[in-house]
Amino acid sequence: MSIIKVSAESRTSAVAGAIAGVVREHQRAEVQAIGAGAVNQAVKAVAIARGYLQEDGIDVVCIPEFTSVDIDGKERTAIRLVVEPR
């Protein structure tokens, strides 16, 4: 299972569809965002994905955590949102 990476320019509905699809297939999705704009889009996408999944009878929760990411040799702090059934 790969990590769904979100940027500030990501379309929330597209990310939400990806989250819902991964949760349906793997029972868990990980969404990663760096920066305030990206985190905003990621949280909105999780909220939309909850709606998609509730239509299928799947109730999910979102667990936020910090993670370190190496980008061009520099260590950056990212937010990882773990989405899994309740």
What domains does the chain contain, in order, with CATH numbers? 4-85 (3.30.110.20)
Q: What is the pTM of this model?
A: 0.91
Residues in contact with 73: Cβ distance below 8 Å, sequence separation at least 6, in sequence order: none
Q: What are the tokens at 37?
A: 């704009």
Please give the chain's pLDDT, 86 residues, in tens.
Answer: 689 999 999 999 999 999 999 999 999 999 999 999 999 999 999 999 999 999 999 999 999 999 999 989 999 999 999 999 99
CA geometry: angle at 56 spanning 30 and 5, to 5°? 20
Residues in contact with 72: Cβ distance below 8 Å, sequence separation at least 6, in sequence order: none
* DSSP structure string for 34-76: -SHHHHHHHHHHHHHHHHHHHTTT--EEEEEEEEEEEETTEEE
pLDDT on residue 1: 66
pLDDT on residue 2: 83
Q: What are the tokens at 67?
A: 């993670």
